[in-house]
Amino acid sequence: MSLFDAVRASSFDRRTFVAATAAAAAVASLGLAGCENKVRETTKEEKQEIDLEGGAWVPFNCVSTTCASRCYNRAYVVDGVIVRHGTDNTHEDSEDYPQQRCCPRGRSTRSFLTGPDRLKYPMKRKHWSPGGGENSQGELRGKDEWERIGWDEAIDLIAQELTRIRDTYGNRAFLAMGLMDTRLGAGFLGSSVLNMLGGCLTTWGQASVGGFSVTSQMIRGHWSLGASDAQDRMALRHAQLIVLWALNPAWSIAGSDIYNFIVAKRKAGAKVIIVDPYFHPSAQALADEWVPCRPGTDGALLEAIAYEMITHDWQDQDFLDRCCVGFDADHMPADAKTDENFKDYILGAYDGTPRSPEWASAICGASPEAIRSLAEQMATTKPMALKAGQAPARTYYGNRFAQLFFTVGWMTGNVGVLGGEVAAGAGLGTSHFGASGKGMVKLGSAGYAFPQNPVCSEPRAAGAIAAGKLDPEQEYGLPYSECYEAVVKGEYTLPGRNKEKRSCDIKCLYRDNAHSPANQFSGGNFVEEAYRKVEFVLVQDFMFSTDARLADIVLPVTSTLEYDISAAPMCPHEFVMVGSKVLEPYYESKADVEIFFLLADKFGVGEDVVPRKSVKQGEFNKVASAFVVTEDGSDYEPLVAITQEDLDRYGVEGVPQEGRVPIQDFLAKGAYQVERSDGDALMNCFGKAFRDDPAANPVATASGKYEIYCQSLKDYYDFIGFSDIDALPKYKPAFDGYEQAKSDDAYPYQLVTIHHIRQAHSVFSNVKQLNEVFANDILISEYDAGRTGLSKGDWVKVTSSAASIARRVNPIPNLMPGVVVLGQGNWRRTDEATGVDVGGNVNTITRPLVIGDAYQPFNSVLVSLEPWTGDELKPDYLRESVAPVSE
C-alpha cells in the first residue's frame, strides 16, 4: 500500500465528500457566468532574478506556526546566506488563480532567524543544578547567567532530573505547557517526552476562538473555527453586502485573504460595512460604512438589529420557521424548560425593555440612526455575507455574543444561498482554513508515533470541548487562563464540580512544542512566580523567548528553513507548500523530533514504542501521502508521482506511486495550487442541503435545527459551572466590560488586544525593522489623548486590576473614545524593581479568569493610563537583545 492509500483510508470520509460535491454540482448547475479575469500588475520579481548572481532561489515555509495565512516565501541564497527575499511567482497572477504573496513578516525571515535572539547552543542556567531544593535556586530564573553546555550533557541532565522528579513526586508533578503540537504533525500533545515517562498534567481550554466553540456546537451542531463556516472564496463574489464584524484581514490574514474581499467588492460591487471599535487597516481599504461598537457590547447592537427586523417584519420567516427553533412562541423546541422566545424577549415582553436602537445606542456607542441603517441593510440586501472574527468572542460573555451573532444572521436567512453566509471565526481565513467543504489539496502525515499520556491529555479535553461533553470524572489538567496562578497556588478549577478545586504540586514545567504559553495565556502576571517556584524548567525554542528566558535548560531547535524538506503545517484550502533547505542548521540546533529521539534513547524506550525516523523521512512522508481533488471534484488522487530514482535520490524509504505532478517538480516549485474559476465544480455552498430540506439533512443539535432557544447549551453551562448563559440569546453586561468602565473611575478604558501586523503572536515581535515600521504602540483616540494631555510617542503605564505594563501611545482619529488597542504577543520583560512589564505584553494585564468552557477573556480588560515616570524607555526597535551571548 502506498503512503497515499494509507492516509486516504484514514483521513477523509468519502461519504461526506460525495455529499459536499453533490451540493457543489447543484451550485455549478445554476449556470453562474464566470466574470472576466483582471490581472494585477506583475511584480519586479523577474528583474530581481536578473540582478542576482551566484546563488539560487529556494522556496521555504514561513516559520510562523499559528498565523492564519500560509504564504509562499522564497529566498535567494548565496553560499548558505539569504541575500534577498521573494514571494510567489510560480504562475501568472489572476483573480481566480492568485499568487500566494507573503506579508512583511515572511520577508523579514532572514533578520528573524539570524538575529541576536536566536539560540545557538544548549544552555544551562548557571546557578541551577539537578536535585531540587537548594540546588534549583529557582528565584534566579530570568535573572541568572547562562552557560553553554554540550548536547550530551544537556540530555543527561534532563533525563536525570525528569526521572528524579517522577520517582520522587510522581507524574502529576510535571506540567507540559502549550497548546497543540503543530510542528510534529501529531495533533494535540501534552509532551511527547514526558509521555515516555508515564505522562504529565497538561493545560486545556480555548485559546483562540473564545466563546464561539461550544456555543456554536450546541446551537448549530458545528464547531466554529472558521474552517467549517465560511463560504468558498468564489461564493463571496456573489455577495451584495459584506459585513465584517470585528474582522481585520489586512492584518490577520495578510498574505492573501484580504485580496478575496477586494476582488469580491470589485467583481460584484459588494458594499462593505465594518463593525468594530477601531477603523482598522482593512476598513481603510474596504469600508463603505463603519459602525463603531464598544468592545463586548456587540450583543446589545445585535439585539437592536433584531428589534428593527422584527418591528419591520424583515426577518426571513420561512427560514426561521423551517430551519430554526425558538424564534417565536409557535416554534419552541420540545426540550425547552421555559416558554420564553426570542421575538417576545426582543420586544420587551419579559422585562419591559424593548431592545430599541435608542436602548442599544447608550450601550454600544453607535448612533440610533447608524443602527437602523445597519439593520435595514443587513435585512434587505441579499445575498449578504456576515463574517465575524473571533475577537468579540474572546470577551467575558463571548458565548452570549456567539448566540446573538448567529441568531441575527439566521434571521436574515443568509444560509445555504450563494453569496450569503453567517460565518464565525473568519479571522482565521476564508480561502485558508476558512472555506467550507473539503480541502482541495492536502499534505499527509509524517507518520511519527508518539506515546499517549496516561495521566491526562489534551486530546480528551479538546474532543470533549468540541463535542460539548466535558466529563468531571476525567482529568484534563489546568485551564489555560489560570495555569500559572494554579502553579503558584497549588490548585486548579475543575469543570462540572461547582468550581471545586483540585490540588496540584507542580515541580517541573516543560515545553517541547512550538507555543509560547508564558507569553500567550491570560493571567500572565503569575508567570514569574510560577516559574520560580518549581524545581526544573525546560524549554525548546529557536529564540530566547519569554519562556526560554525563565528556563533552567534551553535547547535550540532548527527552523523549518533548516530542514531538507519541510512540508508546511496547516495549509490553506486550495494550496500546499513545501520548502527546501535554505540554511544549514543554525549552530548546534536540532529539530524537535530529533531531541525527542535522543531522550527516547536515553530512557531506553524501544523502537517498538517509539519508531525512530529522520526528519527528512517524516517530511517526505507528508509529501508522499498528499492528495489533491480530481478536476471534476468527485474524488481525490495522490498529489505527487514518485519513482524509485526519487527515493534513491532523496535517501528515503517509500513505495513508487503515480501522481498529479512529479515530486521533483513539486519540490523545485515549492507549491501546488488548485486552479479555480467562478462556478467550477469545486464550489461548495455551505448549508444548502440543510436549508432545502432540514428534515432530511438535520444538523447535529438536540432538535436537528438551528437552536435560537437552546436548552442543551444552558444545561451544559450550568453543569460546567464556570460562568452563566441563558437558553435564549440575551445581552448581559460583562465583568470588566463597558458598564463597569463607565461607573468605575479607577479603570476607565476598555482594552482590546488585537493580532498585529508586525507579529504572529510572539513570533517576529523581536524584528527591529518590523518594529520600526509597524510599531506596536497602544492606540488611543485623539479625543482621549487630547483630554488627558497625551501626545504621540509619550510613554504610559497601562494598569489593570492585575498588573501594569509600559508602552508608547499613538493617538489616532479612527478609534472610539474610551477604547484603547494594543497588539498582543510582545515579549514580556518585567522590571524587577517595579514589577512593571516594560516589554508591554498584554497578557501581563489580562486576568486568570476561568469562564465559559475555559475560553480566555482576552478582550474584557479595563485599564487606566498614566504618564510613565520610571526610567527612560527605548522603543522596541532600539532595544538590545537580552539573549545570552556565547561563542
Judged by CB under 6 A, the stretch of 161-169, 294-302, 463-471, 866-874 that binds ligand MGD is 294-302
Cell numbers placing 867: 504618564
For residue 760 the three cell numbers come to 504572529
The alpha carbon torsion through 635, 20, 7, 662 (nearest 10 deg) reads 40
Residue 210, amino acid: G
Piece of the chain touching ligand MGD by CB under 6 A; list 89-97, 246-254, 340-348, 529-537: 246-254
CB atoms within 10 A of CB 809: 24
Q: Site mask, ligand MGD, residues 77-116, x = CB under 6 A? A: ----------------------------------------
280 binds ligand MGD (CB under 6 A): yes
Binds ligand MGD (CB under 6 A): choice among 272, 302, 543, 682: 543
Q: Is position 753 an interface residue for ligand MGD (rule: CB under 6 A)? A: yes
Kindly state whether residue 483 participates in binding ligand MGD, applying the rule CB under 6 A: no
Burial of 655 (0-12, 13-18, 19+ CB in 10 A): middle
Report the residue closest to Mo ion, judged by CB.
Answer: 208
Q: Does the protein bind ligand MGD through residue 488 (CB under 6 A)?
A: no
Smallest distance from ligand MGD to CB 863, Å: 12
Distance (Å, rounded) from C-alpha 443 to C-alpha 670? Answer: 13
CB 309 within 8 A of CB 327: no
In the complex with Mo ion, which residue's Cβ is closer, 297 or 856? 856
69 is a contact residue toward Mo ion (CB under 5 A): no
**φ and ψ at residue 538, rounded to 5 degrees:** -120, 135
Q: How far is CA 576 from CA 434, 557, 572, 627, in A?
A: 15, 24, 7, 10
Helix (H) or strand (E) holding 863: strand 861-867
Task: Work out what residue 67 binds among ligand MGD, Mo ion, none; the CB cut-off runs from 5 to 8 Å by kind.
Answer: ligand MGD
Indicate whether 208 belongs to the interface with Mo ion (CB under 5 A).
Answer: yes
- Work out what residue 842 binds among ligand MGD, Mo ion, none; the CB cut-off runs from 5 to 8 Å by kind: ligand MGD
Point out which span in 227-235, 290-298, 492-500, 775-783 binds ligand MGD (CB under 6 A): 290-298
Three-class SS state of 385: strand
Residue with cell 486552479: 675
User: What residues contact 459, with CB distance under 8 A and at least 6 apart?
Assistant: 187, 188
Indicate the pairing of strand 804-812 with strand 778-781: parallel
Q: Of 429 and 468, which CB lies nearer to Mo ion in the complex structure?
A: 429
* Candidate residues 199, 296, 679, 811; the one interacting with ligand MGD per rule CB under 6 A: 296
Q: Does 840 bind ligand MGD (CB under 6 A)?
A: no
136: three-class secondary structure by DSSP: helix
Maximum CA extent, the chain: 78
389 sits near ligand MGD (criterion: CB under 6 A): yes
> Do the strands 384-388 and 241-245 form a parallel or antiparallel pair, or are they unpaired?
parallel
CA angle 195, 200, 202 (to 5 degrees): 110
100 binds, options ligand MGD, Mo ion, none, Cβ within 5 to 8 A by partner type: none
- Does the footprint of Mo ion cover residue 753 (CB under 5 A)? no
Q: Stretches 106-114, 271-279, 773-781, 789-797: which one binds ligand MGD (CB under 6 A)?
A: 271-279
Minimum CB distance to Mo ion smaller for 225 or for 374: 225
Q: Which of 757, 780, 785, 796 binds ligand MGD (CB under 6 A)?
A: 757
Is 277 a binding residue for ligand MGD by CB under 6 A? The answer is yes
* Cβ 189 to Mo ion shortest distance, Å: 18
CA dihedral 158, 201, 760, 530 (to 10 degrees): -80
Question: Which residue bears the cell 516565501?
Answer: 73
CA dist 886 and 141 (Å) reads 19
Q: How far is the CB of 858 from Mo ion (least distance, A)?
A: 10
Residue 307-346 contact track with ligand MGD, rule CB under 6 A, x = bound:
----------------------------------------
Rounded distance between C-alpha atoms, residue 17 and residue 232, angstroms: 15
Q: How far is the CB of 112 from Mo ion (least distance, A)?
A: 20
361 binds ligand MGD (CB under 6 A): no
Contact 556, 569 (CB under 8 A): no
Among 89, 203, 493, 516, binds ligand MGD (CB under 6 A): 516
Quick check: 493 binds ligand MGD (CB under 6 A)?
A: no
Instruction: Find the part of the chain contacting ligand MGD (CB under 6 A) among 94-102, 572-580, 679-687, 818-826.
Output: 818-826
Q: Does 363 bind ligand MGD (CB under 6 A)?
A: no
835 CB neighbour count, 10 Å cutoff: 12
E strands, 612-662, in order: 627-629, 636-638, 640-641, 661-662
CA distances from 99 to 212, 259, 270 (A): 32, 10, 23
Which residues here bind Mo ion, judged by CB under 5 A? 208
Binding site for ligand MGD (CB under 6 A): 63, 65-68, 179, 183, 207-208, 245-248, 251-254, 275-278, 280, 293, 295-296, 298, 389-392, 394-395, 427-428, 514-517, 520, 540-543, 545, 557, 592, 752-757, 759-763, 821, 824-825, 842-843, 846, 858-859
